[in-house]
Structures are given as structure tokens and as C-alpha cells.
């Protein structure tokens, strides 16, 4: 074509026909005529050069260029070098494309969107069509103007992408095409000063419509992320379904026939139904919201285990230890009978009691710290340099846990270097805070030290066990379980021994918490005319106080031998 006689000018890389005020395309003089005539088979470099010489930033002929993009990807997959001629199959498709190439010079796309409607058109719509195939994805956009029953449509542009080298299913490609369409619509709205009153997105994929109307969080990440972007850029009600035959974006994904490059073609004018009233648009079929494709797979491994020992059946630590000790002895005696060894009889030995305690604590740790126990067992099988620490979200991570020779989890600390301290003190056994066995152990120490001086009880517990927040747990149990029994109103149900000299009492003070009541010893009592003790004089650490009997709580800290000794002493004095 003689460019000198043409009125086309080049503006920002595109050809502008000034007389018709339309965009057009020209074949560059750098094109090799022998190559474009089909007389010579091109190389991969020449195919790419031919594609790059056609400048179409708006995607006005995206349906035409998509074919050569797909061909170039196929050549790339074949592994040809840059200067190696392509094979016969690709060469045939190349000739098919260059046969249509001269027709792009007749393309005329008006620069002005509307010719019949005025600039004050109240109803401006943006229609975006999306489609995908196994070869690629495409989205094409049109403006629709309606004024006084006059409808006018104009092509805005298109975006095309070849399918990735890694295989993707057609539903996933359709979803990616919808994302391209949503991004194209956002770009069009940002680059135009027209006030778009309505946006309509068309797709022929029922899966895309179903995913948009469902909870996208239950699908695989690929679908969930892209549906989330669609919901962010568009509204669900803006999406509609249409058949593949009506979808104009289908021309940008595959060549079923030679494309029509005339100005009256469907690609440049848009589908016929958008030129009609909205009542004649394709009716959207009802699409079910539930779709099983691309659902996030959730594998649940449920294991029902029966506890080896029901610890809740026992109310005393010593009873639990002895019961397990006799069970272990029975198992050992059964093994001895098979081996021909004599059975063990008589009371439980200290070794059997210690083994019983180890077994109980191991079961507790397996229930409370199963993952940590598994990880520590694996670490013991590896060399020192290959051992991995526990996960940081583990409750034992900061305790530097280690398994001892009995398989119990112990806490390591700076006392490991102290050779004077006992092993139990240097590496205390870790117990869960809220467990029935832990409560039994605390209760056993509580009874052992006769419910007084809880600091001593806590220190003795810490000398062997590590229980998180053991002091708070002990105070909670002592205040909630034992202390209320000291001031219970039992006079209405059974006679209560009156306060007497030598009793250890707590002085009830409403202004102090229960665990802070002062403690003292009764020095003298005052008996009323009815023979009841009404007041008492108490020796405390801060002095001698006199209080009513109802404000004194007697602590049962003396044994029967002590009471007999006191009674005998009084008899001797009498």
C-alpha cells in the first residue's frame, strides 16, 4: 500500500485515519514479502518478529493476534531453536494466518464511541465478555449507549492471554478469564471520564457463576483467591450466563473458522442482542449454588482411644499408686509363670511403688502432651547434632524438656550443673496443670503437711514436680475446697466440739481475703451461763487478741496422741 497517498498518520504507535477519524492497521515495510507470501518456512525468531511488528495496545484485533500467539507457544513447546525452521504442522497453521493478515489493513475502528447518541446520554452500560479454552483466555469489552430508544454499541478493546505451559483445567481457565475481564473493566472505568451507570459481565461457564454465588472459602486456594478478587472488583449481581454460541469472546480463544475482519463483524460491533432492549437479552438459567468441583479437600484422621486407666475413679494418690502397683505385679507374675520363675507375694516393695508412680505419670504425660512425647522419643533416636527442637507453639517449648531413662518428661534448667542437688530437684517431672492426677498429688501433699503453711507444701511439690502456676492452683483448691469447711454451720445437724485452750485457730476477718486471715493459738476461753464458749483469747504473731467464738475457725492440726497427751496432763494437774 502506498502510504504517501494515504491520509493515515501515526499517533502514539497506532495508525489514525484522519479523514474517517478511525484507527486502522498497516503492514510494516520491514515485513519480508517472501515470508508473508508463504514461499518460505519461517523460524521461531521470524514468527516472533512478525507478531511484534503489529502494534495493538488496545486489543482491537485481539481475536486475530491470538492465533499467532497460540502458534508461537506451540513452537516454543516443540523445542526449536531460534533460527531453526518450524515443522510442517506449524508451517501449515502459519500459512493459514498470513492468508488473513492483509485483511487487517481494511479494519476501521471509529475513534469516537458514539455517532448517533449525544454526549448527555443518561444510560451508559459496560459489557464485558469472558471466555477460555484449552489454548488461552480472552475478555472483550463494549460500551452500550441508549437514548430515546436509540441504542448504539462500540468496541473498547480486549485482553487475551495464552494458556500457561502448566496444564490447567477448563473451569480454572474460565475463572482466570473472568479475572482478566474484571481487571479490564476496572482499567476502563479508571481511564474514561464517562459515567458508567451499569456493568454487565458475561461468561458461558456455569462453574464461575456457581463459585461466585457460593462461599469461596471452602474451595481450593486457586479458586478461593480468584473468586475473592472478583468479589472485590465486581458484584455478584453483575455476572450473567450466556451460551457459548452467543459469547463473542469465544472468537478470541480459538479459530473455528476464518475470522471476519470487516467493520460489520460481531467482534467489532458486539453481539446482536446488546443492540436490542434488555428484555431480549439471553435469559439466565438457574444455576445451583452447590458445586463439588475444586472443593478444598479435608482429610480427618479420627482415632478413638480408650484410656488405660480411669483416673477419675480414685480419690487418693496413695490408693491409685497401690492399685496400679498390684496390677503391675499381677502382669509380672503372669510372665514369671511362663518363664518358670516364682511369683512375687506380700506387701508392695518400694521398687514396685516407684515403678507404679512412673507408669501413672507416663500415662498422664501421654494424655496431656502426646505430640511432645512423640517428638522427644524421635529425638532420642537421633544423634545430638541432628536433634530438632519442639515447635514454638508447644506449651513445653520454653521448659527445655528431656526424656529420662524411665521415659518421663523432665524440665532442664541451670540446676543441671549443681552436683549437690538431688536429680528430682535438678530436673523436676513436668505435669499438666489441670489433670485429675495432678489434683491427687497436690491433695496428698496437702494432707501430709496437715493443711497448714501452704508455702511449705508448694516448695515440697516443686522439689519433685513442675506444675505450671502451682502456687495459684494450690491456693485455689485450698480456698475453694478446704477453707469453707472450717466455718461451716454444722451446729444444726450435729454437736461440735467447743473451742478450748491450745487449739490452733484462724481469726475470721471480713476485710481480708481468706488466705490472709491471721493464725494463732487459744490461750483462754470464756464460758457463758449456758455452758457454751462465747469468747476466746488468742495469741498471734502480732499480739494477743480477744475475739468472739463465731469469728474463730479451728484448724484440725493435732493427732489423737496429742489430744490424749493434753487430756492426761490436765488429769494429772487436777
Which tens digits make up the pLDDT trace of 328-351? Answer: 999 999 998 898 889 999 999 999
Spell out the residues 6+ positions from residue 253 whose beta carbon is closer than 8 angstroms to its own. 66, 131, 132, 133, 135, 136, 137, 138, 160
pTM of full prediction above 0.75: no
What per-residue string of b and e applies to 556-568 under the rule 16 or more CB within 10 Å gives b?
Answer: eeeeeeeeeeeee
Report how far residue 228's alpha carbon sits from residue 287's, in angstroms, rounded to the nearest whole number: 20
CA gap 24, 105 in Å, rounded: 7
* CA-based max dimension of the chain: 145
Residue-wise pLDDT for 395-438, tens only, equals: 888 888 888 888 899 888 877 777 777 777 888 899 998 889 99
pLDDT grade for 204, boundaries at 50, 70 and 90:
very high
Say if 113-280 and 503-554 have the same CATH topology: no
Q: How is residue 366 written as a grid cell?
A: 501421654
Per-residue confidence at 564, pLDDT binned at 50, 70, 90? very low
pLDDT surpassing 60 at residue 387: no
How many CB atoms sit inside 10 A of residue 279's CB?
A: 6
Which fold is adopted by the domain 113-280?
Nucleotidyltransferase; domain 5 (3.30.420)
Per the CB < 8 A criterion, the answer to whether 427 and 401 are in contact is no
| pLDDT tens, residue by residue, 49-94 | 888 888 999 999 999 999 999 999 999 998 889 999 999 999 999 9
Chain centroid to CA 345: 57
Domain locations along the chain: 8-109, 113-280, 503-554
Over residues 166-181, the pLDDT tens digits come to 999 999 999 999 999 9
pLDDT digits (tens, 9 = 90+) for 364-386: 998 888 888 888 887 655 555 44
Q: Residues 303-319: what's their mean pLDDT?
A: 84
Sequence-distant (6+) residues with CB within 8 A of 394 are 371, 372
Backbone angles phi, psi at 515, to 5 degrees: -75, 5
CATH topology of domain 503-554: SH3 type barrels. (2.30.30)
Tell me how far CA of residue 360 lies from CA of 309, 348, 365, 437, in angstroms: 9, 16, 9, 8
Compute the C-alpha angle 494/499/502, nearest 5°. 140
Residue 477's pLDDT is 66
Q: Which long-range contacts (CB under 8 A, 24 or more apart) does 77-81 make?
A: 77/165, 80/43, 80/44, 81/44
Amino acid at each position: 500500500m502506498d502510504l504517501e497517498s494515504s491520509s493515515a498518520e501515526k499517533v502514539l504507535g497506532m495508525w489514525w485515519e484522519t479523514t474517517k477519524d478511525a484507527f486502522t492497521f498497516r503492514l510494516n515495510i520491514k515485513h519480508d514479502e517472501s515470508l508473508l507470501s508463504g514461499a518460505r518456512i519461517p523460524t521461531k525468531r521470524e514468527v516472533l518478529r512478525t507478531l511484534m511488528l503489529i502494534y495493538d495496545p488496545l486489543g482491537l484485533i485481539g481475536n486475530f493476534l491470538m492465533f499467532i500467539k497460540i502458534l508461537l507457544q506451540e513452537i516454543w513447546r516443540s523445542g526449536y531453536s531460534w533460527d531453526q525452521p518450524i515443522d510442517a504442522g506449524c508451517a501449515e497453521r502459519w500459512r493459514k494466518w498470513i492468508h488473513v493478515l492483509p485483511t487487517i489493513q481494511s479494519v476501521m475502528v471509529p475513534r469516537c464511541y458514539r455517532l448517533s447518541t449525544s454526549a448527555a446520554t443518561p444510560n451508559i452500560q459496560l459489557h464485558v465478555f469472558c471466555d477460555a479454552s484449552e489454548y488461552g483466555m480472552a475478555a472483550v469489552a463494549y460500551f452500550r449507549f441508549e437514548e430515546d430508544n436509540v441504542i448504539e454499541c462500540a468496541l473498547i478493546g480486549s485482553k487475551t492471554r495464552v494458556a500457561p505451559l502448566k496444564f490447567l483445567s477448563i473451569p480454572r481457565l474460565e475463572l482466570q478469564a473472568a479475572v482478566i475481564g474484571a481487571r479490564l473493566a476496572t482499567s476502563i472505568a479508571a481511564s474514561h471520564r464517562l459515567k458508567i451507570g451499569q456493568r454487565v459481565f458475561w461468561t458461558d461457564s456455569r462453574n464461575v457463576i456457581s463459585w461466585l454465588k457460593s462461599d469461596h472459602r471452602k474451595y481450593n486456594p486457586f479458586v478461593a483467591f480468584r473468586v475473592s478478587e472478583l468479589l472485590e472488583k465486581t458484584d455478584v449481581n453483575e455476572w450473567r450466563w450466556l451460551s457459548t454460541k452467543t459469547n463473542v469472546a469465544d472468537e478470541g480463544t480459538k479459530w473455528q473458522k476464518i475470522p471476519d475482519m470487516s467493520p460489520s463483524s460481531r467482534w467489532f460491533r458486539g453481539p446482536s442482542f446488546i443492540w436490542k432492549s434488555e428484555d431480549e437479552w439471553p435469559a439466565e438459567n438457574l444455576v445451583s449454588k452447590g458445586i463439588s468441583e475444586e472443593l478444598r479437600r479435608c482429610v480427618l484422621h479420627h482415632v478413638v482411644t480408650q484410656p488405660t486407666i480411669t483416673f477419675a475413679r480414685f480419690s487418693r494418690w496413695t490408693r491409685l499408686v497401690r492399685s496400679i502397683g498390684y496390677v503391675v505385679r499381677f502382669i509380672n507374675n503372669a510372665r514369671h509363670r511362663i518363664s518358670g520363675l516364682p511369683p512375687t507375694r506380700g506387701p508392695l516393695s518400694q521398687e514396685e511403688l516407684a515403678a507404679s508412680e512412673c507408669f501413672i505419670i507416663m500415662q498422664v504425660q501421654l494424655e496431656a502432651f502426646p505430640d511432645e512425647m512423640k517428638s522427644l522419643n524421635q529425638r532420642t533416636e537421633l544423634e545430638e547434632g541432628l536433634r530438632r527442637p519442639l515447635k514454638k507453639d508447644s506449651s513445653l517449648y520454653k521448659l527445655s524438656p528431656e526424656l529420662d531413662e524411665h521415659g518421663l518428661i523432665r524440665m532442664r534448667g541451670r540446676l543441671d550443673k549443681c552436683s549437690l542437688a538431688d536429680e528430682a530437684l535438678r530436673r523436676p517431672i513436668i505435669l499438666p496443670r489441670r489433670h485429675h492426677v495432678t489434683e491427687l498429688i497436690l491433695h496428698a501433699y496437702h494432707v501430709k503437711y496437715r493443711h497448714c503453711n501452704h508455702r511449705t507444701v508448694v516448695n515440697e511439690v516443686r522439689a519433685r514436680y513442675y506444675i505450671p502456676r502451682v502456687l495459684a492452683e494450690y491456693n485455689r483448691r485450698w480456698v475453694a475446697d478446704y477453707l469453707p469447711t472450717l466455718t461451716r454451720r454444722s451446729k444444726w445437724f450435729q454437736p461440735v466440739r467447743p473451742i478450748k485452750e491450745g487449739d490452733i485457730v484462724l481469726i475470721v476477718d471480713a476485710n481480708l481475703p481468706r488466705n490472709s486471715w491471721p493464725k494463732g493459738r487459744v490461750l483462754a476461753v470464756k464460758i457463758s451461763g449456758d455452758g457454751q464458749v462465747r469468747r476466746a483469747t488468742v495469741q498471734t504473731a502480732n499480739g494477743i487478741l480477744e475475739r468472739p467464738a463465731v469469728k474463730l475457725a479451728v484448724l484440725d492440726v493435732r493427732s489423737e496422741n496429742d489430744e490424749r497427751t493434753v487430756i492426761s496432763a490436765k488429769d494429772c494437774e487436777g
